[in-house]
Structure 1
Amino acid sequence: MKKSILNIKGVSVISKKDQKEINGGIFAEEKIDLTKCGCDCTGSVTGPSYCQIHFGCLQVYTCDDLY
């Protein structure tokens, strides 16, 4: 499999050291605070507009469910 991946144009092998130096994250013009995101009783995402992109709720959930 490694050989087939290296045949893809633009793919190269990087060292473990280089892998550790890679930083990532969410790019956004506004600061993203997922603590402001939540779910309502129908399972819909609540909070700022970015919550729709970066947060998910269970589809089967109601506040009236008792165990």
Structure 2
Amino acid sequence: MSKVTNVIVNLGPRMLMVGKEVLGTADNMSIEVAEATEEELEKLKSAYEIRLVKMVGESGAGGH
């Protein structure tokens, strides 16, 4: 299956949570996906809950 790159995905309104604590809301959240298949993008758009996990070793991941 072919992949698309650098795609903006509009997720619509979302609650912003850390663990089980609601910290706020976003009226229209969008993210830039570096690489995914069309099927993966559709799953992302329709998902009830999406987890964002900081990748160890990536820029801004706790380094100084």
Same fold (TM over 0.5): no
Larger Rg: 1
The higher-RCO structure (CA 8 Å, 6+ apart) is 2
Q: Tell me the TM-score normalized by structure 2.
A: 0.21
More strand by share: 2
